[in-house]
Structure 1
Amino acid sequence: MHTRNSSYRGRFAPSPTGPLHKGSLVAAIASFLEAKSHRGKWLLRMEDVDELRNVKGAASSILRSLDAFGFEWDEDILYQTQRKDAYVHAIETLQKQNLVYPCTCSRKFIRAQAEQNKIKTGPFGNIYPGSCIHKKFTLLNPDDYAIRIKVTDQPIQFKDAILGSITHQLKTDLGDFIIRRRDGLFAYQLAVVVDDAFQNISHIVRGSDLLDSTTRQLYLQGCLSHPPPEYAHVPLMRCKKGDKLSKQTGAKSIGETADIPLIVGCLEFLGQNPPDTLKYESLDNVWQWALKNWQLDKLI
């Protein structure tokens, strides 16, 4: 693990479930410019932990797009599929603290309980009531359970650089949440916390669709004694229907050739007020202008 120091270390962490789209490009630009404006490092992580959703060739396509659009990352790319031992170690650490337990509840069971009003619904969906909290690992086959982490009733609060003060009460908003799935795949919430600590990430700039994940990650960081990064959640691009622009809503690939007007459009979306003439400039000139004029607080 790297040793945390005062230098800025940011990251961009796409999932290889398809090619990069305009919404992803916005997050990449914001995280890149914020890191470089602080003369910091910008790391690239491939969040391929959910192997069932990965699309063959998507990771390579993402890298080609980033390279074509002029992004330069520092250090080696980290792939979560190569980090399973670290996730196992993290769970063992939590298990020694009696912070986790096996859960045999299926999604179907929880959904049925909610439909019968036996489980409450919160801002994150169904609130898990702790039905399996007294179950023991030694009495079950690992293929028969997911692993949940126990949460407390202590509010989790942080100051987002864009959105201000955010507070969630995990016990009443969510309940104990899964950190390893029944199929053996590690949950995103665990993997991202372990990897942010390993890569010594000091600042995270990402889309506001991940805002709800932040308090879960802060809680896990505390349980694992990892220092918390600073967070900034940028606005989401939306499709015509108002939904988040994503692969699921038909977002188009940005391609693997630099699209200057597209970059300038993303800068405009991020509140940077680029001159209209910038779209006719070279890729190098666009990045020079963006770095010189970048101000995250224009999004506040």
Structure 2
Amino acid sequence: MSRVNTAFYAGSIAQCVAYALEAPAPPFPVFVIAYAINGFGIALQDAGANGYVASLTDSPSTKMGILHAVYGLGALSSPLVATQFSQRPRWSFHYLTSLGVALLDTISLIVVFRGKDLDESLAEIGQPPSEKSNSTNEDNKYKQIFRMRAVHYLAFFILIYVGVEVTIGGWIVTFVIDVRHGGPSSGYISAGFFGGLTLGRVGLLWLNKMIGERRVIFLYAILATGLELVIWLVPSLIGGAVAVSFVGMLLGPIYPIAMNHSGRILPPWLLTGAIGWIAGFGQAGSAFLPFITGILASKEGIKSLQPLLVSMMSLMAVLWALVPNAPRRPD
């Protein structure tokens, strides 16, 4: 097995490079390049982290929830920091905060994993390596992954989910300012969304277990869609802000549940590669849906945000219905 943790290091270093480019407020084309580098780094780390936690046999659902709650905590902090810098002449210096976090991330990965591959890391905590298939060469492994429909259903599901999450977290501020006439502090509404996301990933673990992780996603998607209709149709700044937080809380558990479900229905020897594809492909949603939102906003106004989100949340539920509930043979 290749040293999968190399991807961790490459991803964290890519983020450091990106934030260093963004901090001095360079020309717009440099920003575009830096964001592409940043997205590459995030995708590598996202795939590696999800693959590692999904491979654990001791309480993987709880640990996946905690992993993504920490993600939500970081996303909660970001709008708080960015809002403080938004009114200052050197607004781009808020990227220095992100650079500091990325450097800590790189150091932590080096200290914790020390270059070990997945099986070596699992062995260190007393977990035996995953079972192998009869044919384990890399070419055959990836052929098996791409022949599995479940992998592609999950990838498209995650693409829509990530797109919805990032679109709400980013564009909701513009919607509140332009449509609900919010002031300079509207950035805190985005923080409320990610605060709800963080809370939902840990605070709703009990509900996930009680209802069942597969069924509960339908419940979360329906309730979040209903709240999005409230944000769209009820012209209340405060009510919309509260609803956005609850949407974050309901959407929060969906990503870790999907990753846990991947670990249950995909063959163990394909899990890391499959989750790498699912998470990497899904990360494209963080660019795709916000881009579509921008096109619609330029033509129809930012009021088009809510119809788009409602339709994408509905599509998300449909895609989840296509994901199988039981393990399938890769062949």
The structure with the largest helix share of the pair is 2
- Greater relative contact order (Cα < 8 A, sep 6+): 2
TM-score above 0.5, yes or no: no
The structure with the largest strand share of the pair is 1
* TM category, shorter: under 0.3
